[in-house]
Amino acid sequence: VLVFLSRGYFTSRNCLREARASMQRNKPILLVHETDASKGGFTLEEARAECPEDLRDFMFGPVGYERPIIPWHRITVFQLCTLKEIARNVLRQTPLYSSKPMLGVYLDRDVNVDQLKMSKPVAIYASPNNPGSEMVAKELAAFFPETEICV
């Protein structure tokens, strides 16, 4: 059951009926959180406070074992990431995919890493004041062996 968390969800009689039926039937749920306040978004703390106490552990998970919550953003590229995460979570609830730890979900417009190429030599400056930057630069150079990359 996908629950779109927005202001008023837990004050709606129909939504509460759906949430309680999901809890009684021990249905898997997936929380998607509206982040835009102008579209009904509210903080997760406000969502927990709005949620009736008898549903709180089921909806959000007990303290220390909180359920993952997927944010819903209004920018297209982030929406596509959210839709892929929703698809991944739905697939994990099916017998065919439940035992697979990693699920690759792709859209036809996704960039394939194998297609990435540098059109000309690249110089990467790794600041000694940025720990780890030299390691990342060297990883990039190793990832693009056909391109001249100066680190």
Over residues 96-113, the mean pLDDT reads 80
The encoded tokens of residue 89 equal 């979570």
Q: Is the pTM above the cut of 0.95? A: no
Q: Kindly report, residue by residue over 54-94, the tens digit of the pLDDT.
A: 999 999 999 899 999 999 998 988 899 999 999 999 999 99
**Rounded Cα distance, 106 and 84, in Å:** 7
Q: Report the chain's terminal Cα–Cα distance, integer Å.
A: 49
**Rounded Cα distance, 85 and 111, in Å:** 17
Q: Kindly report, residue by residue over 1-30, the tens digit of the pLDDT.
A: 999 999 999 999 999 999 999 999 999 999
